[in-house]
Structure 1
Amino acid sequence: METVANTHDLAKALANSDIVFDRATLEQAIRRMAVAMRADYRNDDVPVYLTIMHGGLPFAAQLAMEVGALGLDLEFDYLHATRYRGETSGGELVWKHRPATPLRNRRVLLADDILDEGHTLAAIRDWCLEQGAREVRIAALAVKKHDRCVQGVCADYVGVEVPDRYVFGYGMDYHEQGRNLPAIYALKD
């Protein structure tokens, strides 16, 4: 299999970006989200915790540890559905992996890096409901500030609000790079 070189220079992007939220601020926001989640779930009602790959992975792992420290158990699974496939604008939803855990009559908690316009999260939420989930909640590390969100889609647990700019880091990518950066950056105009 041939590897294609990425023509987008991450170092240049970082030099042309502002740090919107540093690691300490994001970790504090995730702890705050965990407290709110713990208040919403009882010990006898373990939610199915679905990490949305790839972007949701760093955030979802940290959030899971924080709610675990508060005594809330989670049943882990993941899904991979994307509209971007390395691009900066979304197209048709492509499912790369669906969860193996049955969702019928279960409470589902989706964990994702960002809620931008919400098309992907809306489709995932609707699919979970079609599978018989009795409730679907959304935890998003970042929510983009604008008025273009799909009607009826909002995060139940929000870490931070980011500007309506190209953001990356902490799970969000810059042309499939920089997901593991420990801060959120926004490209300058």
Structure 2
Amino acid sequence: MKVKVDDLEFEKMISFEAIEKRTAELGAILTEQYQDSLPVFLGVLNGCFVFMADLVKQVPVPCQIAFMKLSSYRGGLESTREIIEELDLKIDIAGRDVILVEDIVDTGNTLRYLVDKLRALKPKSIKVCALLYKPDAMEHEIPEMQYIGFEIENKFVVGYGLDYKEQGRNLKDIYQLVK
């Protein structure tokens, strides 16, 4: 099935059913690993909101939820490599276990920036839970990346929170750009 988002055409890559199944698996792992903690799930807006909502429903341990907003794409198909902080962290994470929830990790530039920023706030631990990971695009070593939903090819994707020109986030499935 193909969909049009703004001026581009996309084809289904990952079904909602597969996303649901993998999210439940990740939730079970996080539940086991953080059952004796009060972790902070820190979402990176806007893309993480769908995944994070579904993920935290799979983790029945006491937790807190917070958000930050960073941007580096600004409507295009490639990162501008300039990171802009649009919403800063509003809670104290010192001494806390932080689970950084990302929709997608490609070059790792934004994630490396964010992990370094959070480290300065002295949390007990930082682990990254990313729905999608593009290993062929990665430019940084990020040992904090511990939980990955799906490894995908280095293709532009939309749906399930991911966008193109702020559109397509509401699609249930994940779609890749048709070339």
Q: Which region of structure 1 is more displaced relative to structure 2, 32-41 or 139-148?
A: 139-148
SS at 1:160 equivalent: strand
1:18 & 1:60 partners in 2: Cα distance? 24
SS at 2:90 equivalent: coil
> Which of 155, 161, 170 is equivalent to 1:171?
161
Structure 1: give runs of 5+ residues left out of the alignment: 1-8
Deviation, structure 1 residue 55: 0.1
Deviation, structure 1 residue 148: 3.0
CA shift in 2, pair 1:145/1:35, >3 Å: same
1:153 & 1:114 partners in 2: Cα distance? 16
Letter in 2 for 1:133: P
1:28 & 1:186 partners in 2: Cα distance? 20
1:59 & 1:110 partners in 2: Cα distance? 12
**Structure-1 residue corresponding to 2:18:** 25
Q: Where has structure 1 moved over 4 Å in runs of 4 or more?
A: none
**Structure-2 residue corresponding to 1:148:** 138
Q: Which region of structure 1 is more displaced relative to structure 2, 146-155 or 128-137?
A: 146-155
Q: How many residues align?
A: 175
1:152 & 1:175 partners in 2: Cα distance? 28
> Which of 76, 89, 106 is equivalent to 1:99?
89
TM-score normalized by the length of structure 1: 0.86
Spell out the pairing of 1:45-60 with structure 2 (5 A cutoff). 45-60=37-52
2:63 & 2:23 partners in 1: Cα distance? 16
2:135 & 2:20 partners in 1: Cα distance? 20
Letter in 1 for 2:56: A
- Structure 1 or 2: larger strand share? 2
SS at 1:66 equivalent: coil
1:133 & 1:86 partners in 2: Cα distance? 32
Say if 1:121 and 1:153, in contact at 8 Å, map to a contact too: no
